[in-house]
Amino acid sequence: MKKDLLSINDMTPDQINALFVLTEKLKKNPFQPVLHHQTLAMIFEKPSLRTRATFEVGMTQLGGHALYLQPSDIKLGQRESVADVARNLERWVSIVMARTFLHSTITELAENCSVPVINALSDIEHPCQALADFFTVYEHRKNLKGIKMAFIGDGNNVCHSLMLLAAKTGASFVVACPEGYEPDEKIVNETKAIMKQNGGTLTVTCAVEEAADRADALYTDVWVSMGQESETSERKSIFQPYQINSALVKKAAPNVLVMHCLPAHRGEEITSEVMDGPHSVVFDQAENRLHIQKAIMISLLQKQNLVI
């Protein structure tokens, strides 16, 4: 592992495999006090249920402590510069997790902090989510090579991390999104370059049914991400055809996994019938955030010789 986990690009396929093996072990035996006396600082510029709860519970289960710093506490970059916040935190804690608006805020934190920094969602990526999601698919399918994941909706932060992770694990990935809402071109090109070596293909299309055709996993996320609230009404009308519903599930493989990072807007990007239906693994994904993030923290702190 590198010092930080800011992007899926910070991990090699072998490191991802090793992370999944450690995650399986931790899921079987959750209480391992290997991070006794270590503290995680959690910086949030945006709201959260899963990320905060899973990092905090995870740190408790590993014998350490998590310190929640809410948006109004530190006013990152306003009350004090991002670099100075990093230079303070490194004196007190052994690891930092941050959820920010700008990806550059997380890279700035990491550059100015001697301790590991984890991206807990930025405008560009959500690597912890994607790792939990592919671990969920791995639990159900055992093999990720050659599977097809179809992402229906906005080419956003979650989509970017999933695309890159599909490439690293040898899976194929299709994004079905409205014109103008495609994933970032640089990340598309990076994904394609990794796929050239690892196998798998990336397709970006407007055709929802074609994307879902025989997919092993159907994935969606909110149409309006945090920070895009002013675009809500426009997005709600543009994204209308990009919904995971029963008709779309029928196009996919018979044992398709229906996935969502949550929070879900039932009746918008996913119907309740599908979210509560037999194909849905959305709460397994939420549970796996806990297990994978414990493995991430252990792996990063192992490099710093801080694991007992």
Chain residues in the site for ligand NVA (CB under 6 A): 121, 156-158, 221-222, 225-226, 261
Q: Which is nearer to ligand NVA, 138 or 181 (CB)?
A: 181
Q: Is 291 helix (H, G, I), strand (E, B) or coil?
A: helix
- 237, 243, 236: which is closest to 258 by C-alpha? 243
177 known member of a binding site: no
Q: Are 126 and 292 in contact (CB under 8 A)?
A: no
Query: In the complex, what is the shortest distance from the CB of residue 122 to ligand NVA, in angstroms, rounded to a whole number?
Result: 9
Q: Is 225 annotated as a binding residue?
A: yes
| Residue 56 or 90 with smaller CB distance to ligand CP | 56
Q: Which one of ligand CP, ligand NVA, none interacts with residue 105, CB within 5 to 8 A by kind?
A: none
| Pick 122 or 299: Cβ nearer ligand CP | 122
The reply, when asked if residue 206 is annotated as ligand binding, is no
Instruction: Establish whether 129 is an annotated binding residue.
Output: yes
CA distance 8 to 15: 11
CB of 260 to ligand CP, least distance (A): 9
Could you tell me the smallest distance in angstroms from the CB atom of residue 199 to ligand NVA?
Answer: 27
- 214 a catalytic residue: no
**CB of residue 129 to ligand NVA, shortest distance in Å:** 6
Mark whether 129 is an active-site residue. Answer: yes
Q: Shortest approach of ligand NVA to residue 222 CB, angstroms?
A: 5
CB 264 within 8 A of CB 222: yes
Report d(CA 11, CA 32) in Å as an integer.
Answer: 24
Which residue is it, tokens 């899963």?
Answer: 50
Residue type for position 241:
P
Residue 234 token pair = 């426009």
84 assigned to active site: no
Identify the active-site residue in 123, 133, 184, 221: 221
Q: Note if 261 is an active site residue.
A: yes
Rounded distance between C-alpha atoms, residue 293 and residue 51, angstroms: 9
Give the active site residue among 4, 50, 61, 99. Answer: 99
Q: Any known ligand binding at 221?
A: yes
DSSP 54-92: HHHHHHHHTT-EEEEE-HHHH-BTTTB-HHHHHHHHTTT
38 vs 191, which CB is nearer to ligand NVA?
Answer: 191
Binder of residue 119, out of ligand CP, ligand NVA, none (CB less than 5 to 8 A by kind): none
Residue 240 annotated to the active site: no
Q: Is 289 a catalytic residue?
A: yes
Residues making contact with ligand CP (CB under 6 A): 48-51, 121, 129, 261-263
Residues 6+ apart with CB under 8 A from 306: 35, 38, 94
- Rank residues 261 and 297 by Cβ distance to ligand CP and give the closer one: 261
Annotated catalytic residue, options 52, 103, 289, 291:
289
Residue 94 interacting partner from ligand CP, ligand NVA, none (CB closer than 5 to 8 Å by kind): none
CA-nearest of 9, 50, 106, 2 to 293 is 50
CA 208 to chain centre: 23
* List of residues 6+ apart from 51 with CB closer than 8 A: 97, 99, 120, 121, 128, 289
Question: Residue ranges for the binding site for carbamoyl phosphate?
Answer: 99, 126-129, 261-262, 289
Question: Residue ranges for the binding site for L-ornithine?
Answer: 157, 221, 225-226
